Amino acid sequence: MIVQIKNFFKESYKSSPIAFWCEMVEAAFLIGASAVLTFTVLDPATKIFVPMYIVGSILGIISGVYRKAAFVIVLCTWFTIMNSIALYQLFIA
């Protein structure tokens, strides 16, 4: 099973190194943002997790374009728009 997992990651990298690295950084940002939200849920640290979510979403769009994954692009575009609105409300409005 470990060999299959390693092969999966190798194939992912080989098929598109740019998408692979975008996805890796994207995952780190989204996992981090999710952890911040989880541990601050009673007093959400929005000024920390919203920017992390938008970076992750933008990287998701980039990797989706490289992978030609239409619904990944749709979903990440939606998240980027929503997080842009949240960023505006947090820092500009």
Structural domain count, the chain: 1
* pLDDT value of position 90: 94
Task: Give me the pLDDT at residue 80, please.
Answer: 98
Domain with 77, as residue range(s), is 2-91
| pLDDT at residue 11, rounded to an integer | 96
Q: Which residues of the chain fall below pLDDT 50?
A: none
Distance between CA atoms of residues 59 and 15, nearest Å: 17
Structure-derived torsion over alpha carbons of residues 17, 62, 53, 73, reported in degrees to the nearest 10: -120
User: What's the predicted TM-score (pTM) here?
Assistant: 0.91
C-alpha distances in Å from residue 73, one per residue of 58, 63, 65: 9, 8, 7
Model pLDDT, residue 74: 98
Q: What is the pLDDT of residue 14?
A: 97
pLDDT given at position 67: 96
Task: Please tell me the predicted confidence (pLDDT) of residue 93.
Answer: 82
